[in-house]
Amino acid sequence: MFPPAEWDKTTNSAYCLESTHQDPQYEWALKYFGGMKPEKDFMKASNIIFSNGELDPWKAGGVTSLPDNDQCLTLLIENSAHHLDLRLPNEADPSTVTEARQTEMEWIAKFIDQYQGSDFSS
């Protein structure tokens, strides 16, 4: 489907600059949203579920653990690929995906309960 092609950051940057007059900012998302140091960048984050499929080729770049944050959930779903847990249930789903969906629903319910129990009137 995709013919082999060498990729070179310097060549790609020169092409972008020439064709679009834009200099690529390859690390913009990591700098803007965080993620260079997940344990530090997301230490105070809350109400986020980071799910990664074991079969995702890019899981190495995902947030897979936040040991000092009990307000976020990290899941590494065995026998799963990218966002299978977010699709409609299917009888072919591995049990790990079904379990992940249940865990995600429990955490979302917890997030909602925490929000609704908060008093924002003051």
Instruction: Say if residues 16 and 22 touch (Cβ distance below 8 Å).
Output: yes
Radius of gyration for the alpha carbons in the chain, expressed in angstroms and rounded? 19
Residues constituting the chain = 122
pLDDT tens-digit readout, 60-115: 888 889 988 999 999 999 999 888 999 999 999 999 999 999 999 999 999 999 99
Residues 12-38 have a mean pLDDT of 93
Encoded tokens for 62 = 């995902």
